Amino acid sequence: MTALVRDPRARRRRSLRENLEGWGFVGPALVIILGLSIFPAVWAFFLSLQEWDGFSDPVNVGLGNYAAMVSDSDLQAALVHTLVYTALFVPSSVFLGLFLAVALNRRIRFVGIYRTAIFVPFVASAAATGILTTYLFNPQFGLVNQLLTGVGLPAQGWLEDPSQAMVVITIMSLWGQAAFTTVIYLAALQDIPVELLEAARIDGASNWQSFWHVTFPQLAPVTVFATIWQVIQAIQLFDLVYTTTRGGPLGATETIVYFLWDAAFKQLQFGYGSAVAYGLFAVTLLITIGVTVYSRRSSVKAF
């Protein structure tokens, strides 16, 4: 192409036109996205060095907000609740997704109906899920307790019991999000060469053996990806807490993001809230990098 354009002036004109054209295509979206992400992210860092309620004059406190985080017992409690939720949610969502994908990955009658029933909850919003949760798990008349007492088990407090509320939130998160891990496992299952499984069968492997020794290792990259993704989702839990318990009972479901929202928008501590947000960002980044490096080293290519 360049050989055709001999005159350097013409070439410069052409490249100016190309640059304008290119930026014309990408410019509008770029301005919006960077303006609503990189710019506020940098601003948040400066905010995190201040004490400010949005009205009075901001006070520079240097790294004071970050120092305060270390000794904040409420934040530590929120961290523990978030870790509890992560430990409950991530393994169960990955296993459930794997299990459902294996179950749905076959041509049997009604499989379309099963699939629809399992996938439809993905469209439920946190607001809708929250209302359904308080109804289904209501200690007095909820369906779950009706079923429990029906089979002779004692009724539970569920969302009103500090030791059970997070379990209920996990169950309903799984209900709404099982479709995601199921779909990515389904896609991966379909990518496994049929020859591999046939070879295993000819060699006399049982279904169970060929699953654990042939299929499961092939799914390793998806497992790594799903785990990272679900961890990131889990440590950002807010919506379902807000629409079910609002952090209660007795603060038992107050997560880091709930704490952040409360600090920033209820108590108007914009500086401290920003510092907590940066802490959360750093943790997310470290987990992602850590798992990626680990899986690269053990030669599982998830990214």
Nearer to other proteins, 18 or 163 (CB): 18
Angle in degrees, CA 72, 43, 71, rounded to 5: 10
| CA-only gyration radius of the chain, Å | 26
Residues from 272 through 291 that contact other proteins (CB under 8 A): 273-274, 277-278, 280-281, 284-285, 288
Identity of the residue, 39 or 212, whose beta carbon is nearer to other proteins in the bound complex: 39
> Site for other proteins (CB under 8 A): which residue of 188, 200, 231, 252?
188
- The nearest distance, CB 80 to other proteins, in angstroms, is 18
Range 37-66, binding other proteins (CB under 8 A)? 37-41, 43-44, 47, 54
Sole binder of other proteins in the list 5, 136, 220, 287 (CB under 8 A)? 136
Of the candidate spans 12-20, 62-70, 76-84, 161-169, the one that interacts with other proteins by CB under 8 A turns out to be 12-20
Residue with smaller CB distance to other proteins, 62 or 112 = 112
303 binds other proteins (CB under 8 A): yes
- The residue range among 64-72, 84-92, 161-169, 214-222 that interacts with other proteins, by the rule CB under 8 A, is 214-222
Q: Is 75 in the site for other proteins (CB under 8 A)?
A: no
The residue among 281 and 294 lying less far from other proteins, judged by its C-beta, is 281
> Whole-number minimum distance, CB 282 to other proteins, in Å?
10
The total number of residues written for the chain in this structure: 303
> What is the rounded CA–CA span in Å between residue 157 and residue 115?
32
- Quick check: 68 and 146 in contact, CB under 8 A? no
Size of the site for other proteins (CB under 8 A): 109
For other proteins, the binding residues in 227-266 under the rule CB under 8 A are 229, 232-233, 236-240, 242-243, 257, 260-261, 264-265
Rounded Cα distance between 292 and 303, Å, is: 8
Residue 99 buriedness (CB in 10 A; 0-12 / 13-18 / 19+): middle
> Please, is 177 exposed, middle or buried when counting C-beta atoms within 10 Å of its C-beta (0-12, 13-18, 19+)?
buried
- For 274, counting Cβ atoms within 10 Å of its Cβ (0-12 exposed, 13-18 middle, 19+ buried), the class is buried
Considering the complex, state which of residue 77 and residue 132 has its C-beta at the smaller distance from other proteins. 132
Q: Is 121 in the site for other proteins (CB under 8 A)?
A: yes
Determine contact, residues 295/226, Cβ cutoff 8 Å. Answer: no
Rounded distance between C-alpha atoms, residue 161 and residue 252, angstroms:
9
What is the rounded distance in angstroms from the CA atom of residue 303 to the CA atom of residue 301?
Answer: 6
Residue whose CB is less far from other proteins, 17 or 163: 17
